[in-house]
């Protein structure tokens, strides 16, 4: 017997839900905001926009389909099926949070607040869900293959990200490491850490580093199988250098980092709570991931 398709709707807690969890009641949350010159009505309006989008998406899933509802913080504990159709309702960053847990599943991005969210990764309105679900089940659907980056440590820990991977100190103090490029060049460095970015990440943190140093590197496109990396604020000393501060990684190339601090961490897409440690003498290899994010357009 063939199972019906499963649609998995993923969202994150709204600002109102977080306030209520922290303060207990609406009145206490309203007082807290008022003392800071804000009004709870603004937070409530955003809450109901998101909840309305979730309700519209839920109603659009065919009655005979299986379905799942997952809050973002529960993603590490949720078991995805290879045939799942993922519906992300929220900001662009939610899709980046989801990407590391997927392996080939199709993703539909729904933007509940088009007046606030750019919609790069959540380009669709809730009303488009019926047509998008029908397209997702069709063999000829168009899925944009967004490139991902991965890091693999010498003890086989793995980390994947859609935007970028950061390597540095967990306390954001000076990170000390040896950087080795694909051509064999190596340099001991002391910096604020390294960013290794995809084309999707090239519109965010990576672009900030690129603009700050007036780099002549061409940043990759979201589907281009190329990465860009930057050493953040490297500084020279008798033991550390600054000659290797930026570059590209083609599809068959990798960058290696050997820790020269008590503990460095690697984390993806800004999620420090899901970091991979790198202790003194350990090496991490950063490269293009074999998997991609399949974003339905």
Is the model's pLDDT at 255 over the cut of 70?
yes
Structural domain boundaries in the chain: 6-141, 147-290
Mean pLDDT of 7-31: 95
Q: What is the pLDDT of residues 208-242, one digit of tens each?
A: 999 998 999 999 999 999 999 999 999 999 999 99
Q: Which residue has the tokens 């929220």?
A: 90
Q: What percent of the chain has pLDDT over 70?
A: 100
Q: What is the pLDDT of residue 133?
A: 95
Q: What is the pLDDT of residues 120-167, one digit of tens each?
A: 999 999 999 999 999 998 877 788 999 999 999 999 999 999 999 999
> Which of 52-61, 136-145, 255-264, 282-291 comes out lowest in average pLDDT?
136-145
Contacts of residue 163, Cβ cutoff 8 Å, sequence gap at least 6? 96, 197, 198, 200, 201, 204, 205, 206, 268, 269, 270
Compute the distance between CA of residue 72 and CA of residue 254 in angstroms, rounded to an integer.
Answer: 31
Is the model's pLDDT at 3 over the cut of 90?
no
Compute the distance between CA of residue 112 and CA of residue 125 in angstroms, rounded to an integer.
Answer: 7
- Computed over every residue of the chain, the mean pLDDT equals 94
Q: What is the pLDDT of residue 261?
A: 87
Is the model's pLDDT at 46 over the cut of 80?
yes
> Which of 2-6, 88-92, 108-112, 121-125 comes out lowest in average pLDDT?
2-6
Per CATH, the number for 147-290 is 2.60.200.30
Taking the whole predicted model, whether its pTM rises above 0.75 is answered as yes
Q: What is the pLDDT of residue 172?
A: 77
CA atoms within 13 A on the CB side of 67: 15
Q: Which of 284, 297, 296 minimizes the C-alpha distance to 106? A: 296
**86 by DSSP, 3-state: which?**
strand
- The tokens describing 179, both together, are 């950087």
Give strand pairing partners of 265: 168, 277
Is the model's pLDDT at 284 over the cut of 80?
yes
């Amino acid at each position: 017997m063939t199972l019906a398709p499963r649609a998995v709707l993923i969202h994150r807690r709204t600002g109102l839900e977080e306030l209520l969890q922290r303060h207990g009641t609406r009145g206490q949350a309203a007082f807290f905001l008022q003392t800071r010159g804000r009004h709870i009505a603004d937070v409530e309006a955003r809450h109901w926009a998101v909840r309305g989008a979730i309700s519209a998406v839920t109603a659009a899933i065919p009655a005979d389909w299986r379905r799942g509802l997952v809050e973002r913080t529960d993603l590490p504990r949720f078991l995805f099926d290879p045939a799942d159709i993922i519906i992300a309702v929220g900001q662009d960053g939610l899709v980046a949070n989801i990407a590391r847990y997927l392996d080939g599943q199709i993703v539909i991005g729904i933007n509940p607040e088009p007046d606030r969210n750019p919609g790069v990764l959540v380009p669709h309105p809730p009303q488009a869900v019926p047509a998008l679900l029908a397209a997702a089940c069709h063999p000829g659907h168009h899925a944009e293959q967004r490139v991902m980056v991965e890091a693999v440590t010498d003890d086989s820990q793995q980390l994947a990200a859609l935007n970028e991977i950061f390597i540095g100190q967990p306390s954001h103090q000076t990170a000390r490491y040896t950087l080795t490029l694909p051509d064999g060049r190596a340099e001991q460095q002391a910096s604020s850490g390294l960013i290794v970015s995809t084309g999707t990440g090239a519109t965010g943190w990576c672009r900030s580093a690129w603009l700050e140093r007036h780099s002549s590197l061409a940043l990759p496109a979201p589907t281009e199988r190329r990465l860009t990396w930057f050493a953040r604020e490297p500084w020279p000393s008798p033991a550390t250098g600054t000659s290797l501060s930026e570059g590209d990684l083609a599809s068959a190339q990798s960058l290696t980092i050997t820790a020269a601090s008590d503990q460095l961490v690697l984390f993806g897409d800004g999620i420090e709570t899901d970091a991979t440690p790198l202790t003194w003498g350990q090496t991490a290899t950063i490269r293009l991931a074999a998997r991609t994010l399949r974003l339905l357009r």
